[in-house]
Structure 1
């Protein structure tokens, strides 16, 4: 294993300068040698040497020329974003969604691969390989450039034992040693995380959690989940199972809302939302479409009004235990209900609990993928900087 250069030595100075040049290109995009020198505060000869080393190593390439007035045009350079790639993956019960992640943060197409849920030969490596192939085909890049994946699952991973739990939607996946199994089978770095935790990362970087000290994301879909952001760090719990709020029994005081409900999943899970929508005369393809029914229509207003006190039952324990600055309603139901549902839940909580701030998610689409993408962006960039260390030694 190579050691880092000693500070103050020529190799350390080369690495420091080369990392600076690469960082500037990642931040600003296409730059000339002179512009790299100006932004870094280094001399033109030093900037030229940095560019030459990075270009020779294949980390950057010339992409055009810029006219500088008199004299020859100056070559412009950009990072070779195809050098190291990652793939963000979101797996639910029926579909794998995946997208390529490169060091520049470019938005690539999202591939949707249907799962053969009854396939007896299904394995975790076949699922992830299908995700990689689909994403790379959609982006028009070679799959052998992929060095890392981040997989969002409807389950929990114990970081101490590499054990998956709550994985009813992942038939064929082993509970024990899943990360090690995938890394051995695929030959790349693998990071597995709960889908709601990844959605919270997206909410922090791209949504309503951006400027908060912390927030709680209540995910409402087919199932329920909770993720807690504390100053930009997601709380996962000792076993990785923090946030499995769907199993929380409902209090006696909420029994009048639904006499047949035993836990929060029964109270506000997707199947219940679909049933309530039917009762209000909303006939839709699924519960999300039902909640998205024509804004302002009496039937939708009645559905949201019935959902709000049910959701408030799930939010009260979060307020009591965590007292978050913000509660975000996410997942398919939270996104479809939007601001109106958040307003109704806020009103319920003011009446029963006191002041609280409840808002709708600020991530309009694919929050799990966006969170996985954010994780991989740092990993892919770190891999490029590791290459800088190698060439500068």
Structure 2
């Protein structure tokens, strides 16, 4: 976008049009009268803003609103087919993906198996984008941004991935740039637990706390740390990789790590079903009192360093194992994590459910898409 001198008529028009677009995005379809009320502009000015946004293919008439007197008023809404994104969650045995548009409308989530597939960053994400667009009935050409949740430590500045064994075919360096070059889209790679943590802050149980830690208990372990609404990633993107923490209690192995206490195969064995399918068969946890107590004790042990070092206002339990244990598991963990004179920590079950990673990715993408839409506003 070219530089516009502040205070000129072009600058004022662009500023007004951006404000109008944000109002459409925040409030949904609006009439000329309602846009004028929300923006503080006169009806003629509101009409001009709508006309300019319509010429830029950013808004379109979407219906009519009946008035108490006189003819019905036309309402305009943001075009959901102008700029889109795709949210991706890289799992051990599949890839989840969903189309994201500026309006935040829910689109179908697709789940792509990866067994037997040729794997690479660009191949995996290319499949995900194509499938998400097909499921939503959207043109692939509208996709300009992709956010990918990965089970890895992500150093975004250096485009590096580390501490992962779930991304076959993905190099430790350069995965993001390979996807961007091959697909022609802007790519954000982010640790999956960090994305789930963002979702919990935005729409889950941690919306009103100053700080919290999100413990993901799934195939592996990880913790997302939110300090005042900001994710703490560490110097190399590896903050929160709790699954690599050495802990001998409960294992008999002085070299054991926390994943040896709470990894998916360990949980299935506790339930007497070591050959079971995860996460489906872990749902039996809710009906196994002995296993529930053991899992609660192990989670309390695992979060001890988090409580001592960070002292967060809340610990949120997420991931398939935590969701299977439900609110009762959170209560059992809180009781076991109370030590000495220290107050019992506030432990809550995640409010974002099974799709927490995609919810977090969608939140990032919606804002990116809105910024890109603003860039389509004419400046002269």
Q: Same fold (TM over 0.5)?
A: yes
Per the TM alignment, residue 160 of structure 1 is displaced from its structure 2 partner at its CA by 3.1
* Residue of structure 1 in register with 2:87 after alignment: 88
Question: Which of residues 125, 137, 140 is equivalent to 1:140?
Answer: 137
1:322 aligns with 2:310: yes
Aligned to 1:312: 300
Q: Distance in 2 between matches of 1:94 and 1:291?
A: 17
| 1:182 and 2:171 aligned | no
1:332 maps to 320
2:355 to 366, 372, 378: 366
Distance 2:144 2:284 in 1: 42
Matches within 5 A, 1:263-274: 263-274=257-268
Q: Secondary structure at the match of 1:365?
A: helix
Unaligned stretches of 5+ residues in structure 2: none
Q: How many Å separate the matches in 2 of 1:81 and 1:31? A: 15
Report if the CA contact (8 A) 1:277-1:287 is conserved. no
Deviation string for 1:251-273 (max 9, x for gaps)?
5xx2xx23247110111111111
Call closer, same or farther: CA 1:275–1:208 in 2, change over 3 Å: same
Give 1:194 shift. Answer: 0.5
For the structure 1 residues 137 and 33, does the alpha-carbon distance in structure 2 shift closer, same or farther, using more than 3 Å as the test? same
- Aligned in 2, Cα 1:67/1:392: closer, same or farther, shift over 3 Å? farther
* Residues 271 and 285 in structure 2, CA contact (< 8 A), matched pair in contact too: no
In structure 1, the residue matched to 2:284 is 293
CA distance in 2, matches of 1:160, 1:8: 36
Task: Pick one of 343, 362, 376 that aligns with 2:331.
Answer: 343
Where do 4+ consecutive residues of structure 1 move more than 6 Å?
Answer: none
Count of residues paired in the alignment:
378
Displacement after TM superposition at 1:137 (Å) = 1.0
Partner Cα separation in structure 1 for residue 78 and residue 338 of structure 2:
52
1:212 aligns with 2:217: no
Are the equivalent residues in 1 in contact too, given 2:120–2:170 (CA < 8 A)?
A: yes
Q: In structure 2, the residue corresponding to 1:293 is in which secondary structure?
A: helix
Report the alpha carbon displacement of residue 351 of structure 1 after superposing the two structures with TM: 4.3
Shift in Å, 1:44: 1.1
Q: What SS does the aligned partner of 1:83 have?
A: coil
CA offsets per residue over residues 85-115 of structure 1, 9 Å max, x none? 0000001121110111111111111011111
Task: Tell me which residue corresponds to 1:384.
Answer: 373
Preserved contact between residue 193 and residue 357 of structure 2 (Cα < 8 Å): yes
**TM-score, normalised via structure 2 length:** 0.95
* TM-score (structure 1 length as normaliser): 0.92
Kindly indicate whether the alpha-carbon contact (under 8 Å) linking 1:87 and 1:99 is maintained by their aligned counterparts in 2: yes
Asked whether the 8 Å contact 1:291–1:304 carries over to 2, the reply is no
> Contact conserved, 1:87 with 1:150, CA < 8 A, in 2?
yes
